[in-house]
Amino acid sequence: MKIIGSRDRWMEAIAIVQKAVPSRSTLAILDGILVEADETVKLTGYDLETGIECLMEADIREKGHIVVPSRMFGDIIRKLPEDIVMMEVSENGQITIDSGKTHFTIKGIAADGYPKIPVVDNGKAVSIRQSLLKDMIRQTIFAVSSDESRPTLNGCYLRCEGNQVEMVAIDGFRLALRRKTVEGDEVGTMSFIVPGRTLQEVVRVLESGGEQPVLIRPSGNHILFDMGDVKITSRLIQGEYMNYRGIIPQTADSTLVVSPVAMMDAIARASLIISSEDKRFPVRLSMSEDDTLVVTANTDIGTLREEIPVELTGNRIDIDFNPRYFLDALKVIDQETVTIAFNGSMGPCVMKPSEGSDFAYLVLPLRR
Amino acid sequence: MKIIGSRDRWMEAIAIVQKAVPSRSTLAILDGILVEADETVKLTGYDLETGIECLMEADIREKGHIVVPSRMFGDIIRKLPEDIVMMEVSENGQITIDSGKTHFTIKGIAADGYPKIPVVDNGKAVSIRQSLLKDMIRQTIFAVSSDESRPTLNGCYLRCEGNQVEMVAIDGFRLALRRKTVEGDEVGTMSFIVPGRTLQEVVRVLESGGEQPVLIRPSGNHILFDMGDVKITSRLIQGEYMNYRGIIPQTADSTLVVSPVAMMDAIARASLIISSEDKRFPVRLSMSEDDTLVVTANTDIGTLREEIPVELTGNRIDIDFNPRYFLDALKVIDQETVTIAFNGSMGPCVMKPSEGSDFAYLVLPLRR
């Protein structure tokens, strides 16, 4: 194998596939990156659950396959003195890397032993803009459950029906739902559960402003996110997802319109005196008559009391929450105001951006 | 106690004194910051070895002293919504902090139990510009020994004689020396050993471009670095410092003039394949006839070979070094070229900036 490429292109491609390289694997070859030079150069990282493949432009002088030690190879490439990089692999797997007057040799591993990523080639696919998919993941992933006794909740539920795409995450205490009507052909009905860990990797590869489409292609036990040069394959979580239809109440005893930033800042301050280990202490929201929300916390460490201007309708109540559950959702609402609907001090509370119905977040209060 | 101050001033002062607050102390009160409001507001952090005091502008409505929990207090101040901060301490040590519509209360500790920093009030003092003191520390501190069996080498030796100030650090394998002739009155002869840990704190407080003088005032077992609003007091290391006069050879078998950046980059690349745990493997410098230095490393991980253009005089030799020892010194040389003098493959090597004689670094080669 002999290829001439750009240091900066190498660095980009390595950074992408490294996200799927396990930090410590029982299978030593997985600590490496598979480099394949055929018609084009392809890098692969794979932890047996998620595989990331990335195509890279390069001048291929001689085809070949090799597994390079991931961290070491990345460190060497990053420190090379010039952008032009010549990489050559000898018969015995010795890798030489040349750039300017710098000449490295390191040992590679034969590519034969590298496990194959399952091939997903199903006809059905849904196409979503990169930026939209990124938003959908960002606005739900924080509510994925880490409780391994209910595996179906360890992922986001992605459901397509007609022109509508919906992503949902639920743990025992809250539910985040992001919905979007996509343009173009109907995608047909399909649904699947993608592991939260895979989506964390997908979201890091997606570009915020990216208008490029991502082709999402599920097939049996696996799913492929196809971004063109970058492909992420993951196993799916098997099982029936919780039926969340009807969980979100459509009525409310009281509603509150507030700036998400003002609310977030107040609750973040309250969190300071609520130690993260000690979950006994809630943040309390108290609605007063004069369109003021009083945020209080009272713990062994100290107290906080803060007033925020809000628009209030309906019953004035006091209600207690885990502050983190509120912060997680407020962080991902990009609009200027958010509407929060309450159903008494013990009923579920629903947060939505004041405009549009694309996002909803349900959270249960703490018992007082 | 009741004071009205600025959030940003508080944050600056807390950041400075927190450097002397131990992360985990056997004496619980030392986990706090002593706040004293008399004619002015003074904050103190102290770990019984180094004490930092910082004056802060504020409107003092009522005098008083209190110890505040360091981390918590800093977190609260940083998150306050407005710059105007009112702090009030009640008779029973309850601290209230108000800013905008935010109202915190936390518990303070009575100031009586806070240990006193030793008072240093000796007539003798040497005055050095902040930026110069920062350079002197930065260019020597990396060579301070961490071997606790020779306590005198766990600090930098500061020696003043006439108009000359000299700072030296030595471990078993290298010596860094920074010298400067200071303007103004003769400072008289004095010398003392300042713990490396203290200097790490001093250097973080000093400003790079700072033209303000630092008054250095030793007295018996302690030393005071007086920067006006900030004062750092430290114990001194007792004992006789190693006699380093005459250690630096004045002659050389070979000399080499090179760009410190080119040399640093090449050795940093060599370091990649020299695992930091395994000290067996050196970086080798080989001088060739045609004004080229060949840098090589050869380890279990792989090999590096790199050529750097240099100016060579004298004998061409091969010599082996611990790469870190070279990098440490190259990093702190700000000039465009450095002159390195060699005394055979086994003799000490001396690195100096090509212009001026303010800095010298001696390093022993590794045995081959």
C-alpha–C-alpha distance, residues A252 and A124, integer Å: 40
Would B120 be classed as within a structural domain?
Answer: no
| Start-to-end Cα distance in chain B | 67
Grade residue A167 by pLDDT with cuts at 50, 70 and 90: very high
Q: Give the orientation angle of helix A260-272 with respect to helix B70-78, to 10 degrees.
A: 170
**Could you give the number of structural domains in chain A?**
3
Q: How confident is the prediction for chain A on average, in pLDDT?
A: 93
**Which pair of tokens denotes residue B22?**
């131990």
Q: What is the pLDDT of residues A54-112, one digit of tens each?
A: 999 999 999 999 999 999 999 999 999 999 999 999 999 999 999 999 999 999 999 99
Would B118 be classed as within a structural domain?
Answer: no
User: What whole-number percentage of chain A has pLDDT above 70?
Assistant: 98
Q: What is the pLDDT of residues A218-269, one digit of tens each?
A: 888 999 999 999 999 999 999 999 999 889 999 999 999 999 999 999 999 9
Contact A269 B102 (CB under 8 A): yes
The shortest CB-CB distance from A79 to any of B102, B269, B305 is to B269
Contact B272 A75 (CB under 8 A): yes
C-alpha–C-alpha distance, residues B11 and A263, integer Å: 23
Q: Are residues B81 and B37 in the same domain?
A: yes
**Helix (H) or strand (E) run with residue A340 in it:** strand A338-342
Q: Closest-CA residue in chain B for A275?
A: B72
Q: What is the pLDDT of residue A208?
A: 73
C-alpha–C-alpha distance, residues A292 and A305, integer Å: 12
Q: Are residues A142 and A177 in the same domain?
A: yes
C-alpha–C-alpha distance, residues A143 and A171, integer Å: 6
- Of A20, A229, A76, the residue nearest B268 (C-alpha): A76
Q: Are B55 and B40 in contact (CB under 8 A)?
A: yes
State the Rg of chain A over Cα: 25
Does the CB of B105 have a partner CB in chain A at under 8 Å?
yes
C-alpha–C-alpha distance, residues A361 and B328, integer Å: 53
CA distances from A271 to A219, A340, B320 (A): 43, 20, 55
Q: Are B244 and B228 in contact (CB under 8 A)?
A: no
Would B243 be classed as within a structural domain?
Answer: no
Q: Are B143 and B156 in contact (CB under 8 A)?
A: no
Does the CB of B308 have a partner CB in chain A at under 8 Å?
yes
Does the CB of A268 have a partner CB in chain B at under 8 Å?
yes
Q: What is the pLDDT of residues B83-107, one digit of tens each?
A: 999 999 999 999 999 999 999 999 9
Would A185 be classed as within a structural domain?
Answer: yes
Spell out which residues of chain B touch residue A76, defining contact as CB-CB under 8 Å. 269, 272
C-alpha–C-alpha distance, residues A195 and A50, integer Å: 9
The label of the residue with tokens 């030393």 reads: B223
Enter the DSSP assignment of B49: S
Residues of chain B with pLDDT under 50: none
Please count the other Cβ atoms lying within 10 Å of the Cβ belonging to residue B155: 25
Q: Are residues A143 and A224 in the same domain?
A: yes
Task: Give the phi and the psi of residue A228 in degrees, each rounded to 5.
Answer: 90, -100
Does the CB of B107 have a partner CB in chain A at under 8 Å?
yes
A positions 202-261 inside 8 Å of B (CB): none
Tell how far CA B209 is from the center of its chain.
16
Spell out which residues of chain B touch residue A269, defining contact as CB-CB under 8 Å. 76, 79-80, 102, 104
CA distance B203 to chain A (A): 29
Q: Closest-CA residue in chain A for B78?
A: A269
Q: What is the 3-state secondary structure (H, E, C) of B287-327?
A: ECCCCEEEEEEECCCEEEEEEEECEEEECCCEEEECHHHHH
Q: Are residues B6 and B84 in the same domain?
A: yes
Would A359 be classed as within a structural domain?
Answer: yes
Q: What is the pLDDT of residue B98?
A: 98
Grade residue A278 by pLDDT with cuts at 50, 70 and 90: low
> Residue B319: which CATH number?
3.10.150.10
CA distance A8 to chain B (A): 17
**Which pair of tokens denotes residue A109?**
């591993």
Mean per-residue pLDDT, A316-321: 96
Q: What is the pLDDT of residue B48?
A: 92
Tell how far CA B81 is from the center of its chain.
35
Q: What is the pLDDT of residues A300-313, one digit of tens each?
A: 889 999 999 999 99
Q: What is the pLDDT of residue B188?
A: 74
Would B313 be classed as within a structural domain?
Answer: yes
Most confident by average pLDDT, A159-168, A352-361, B100-109: B100-109
Spell out which residues of chain A touch residue B81, defining contact as CB-CB under 8 Å. 265
Q: What is the pLDDT of residues A213-231, one digit of tens each?
A: 999 998 889 999 999 999 9
Q: What is the pLDDT of residue A360?
A: 96
C-alpha–C-alpha distance, residues A153 and A242, integer Å: 8
What range does the domain containing A300 cover? 254-363
Q: Are residues B102 and B168 in the same domain?
A: no
Q: Are residues A276 and A213 in the same domain?
A: no
Would A218 be classed as within a structural domain?
Answer: yes
Q: Are residues B274 and B343 in the same domain?
A: yes
Q: What is the pLDDT of residue A277?
A: 63
pLDDT at A123 over 90: no
Would B135 be classed as within a structural domain?
Answer: yes
What single-letter amino acid sits at B12? E
Q: How many CB pairs under 8 A join A and B?
A: 72
Last residue of a domain, one of B88, B113, B138: B113
